[in-house]
Amino acid sequence: SQQGEEDPQALSIQEGENATMNCSYKTSINNLQWYRQNSGRGLVHLILIRSNEREKHSGRLRVTLDTSKKSSSLLITASRAADTASYFCAPGGTSYGKLTFGQGTILTVHP
């Protein structure tokens, strides 16, 4: 498995603003997953995007994938204080394979 590198390390915004975080990886993938972790708790699965997909939506989340640049982005629109959390990307090789995590992006949304 390979590790995704999230950028920025920390992001601070006001409620209602959009938040964009990026993920880069090094080698080709089958899919890429995004997760959210609230302080001290388990990871919540947000979205999986396959290597043949360029964009995927889920509620206020929009994920893009550019395999030529080996990068992905997660956009959270109209952010809320409850979106405050750490966000991780996980590039996937073979299906069901183990995942390697970077340090994540710490998002703080101020009311």
* Residues lying near another protein in the complex (CB under 8 A): 31, 33, 35, 40-45, 48, 50, 88, 90, 92, 95-104
Report in angstroms how near the CB of residue 42 gets to another protein at its nearest. Answer: 4
Enumerate residues 6+ apart whose C-beta is below 8 A from 76: 18, 19, 20, 60, 61, 83, 107
Q: How far is the CB of 24 from another protein (least distance, A)?
A: 15
Q: Give 12's Cβ-side CA count (13 Å radius).
A: 1
Nearer to another protein, 79 or 87 (CB): 87
Mapped onto helix, strand or coil, the DSSP state of residue 96 is coil
Amino acid at 52: N
Q: Which is nearer to another protein, 15 or 62 (CB)?
A: 62
**Closest distance to another protein from the beta carbon of 68 (Å):** 22
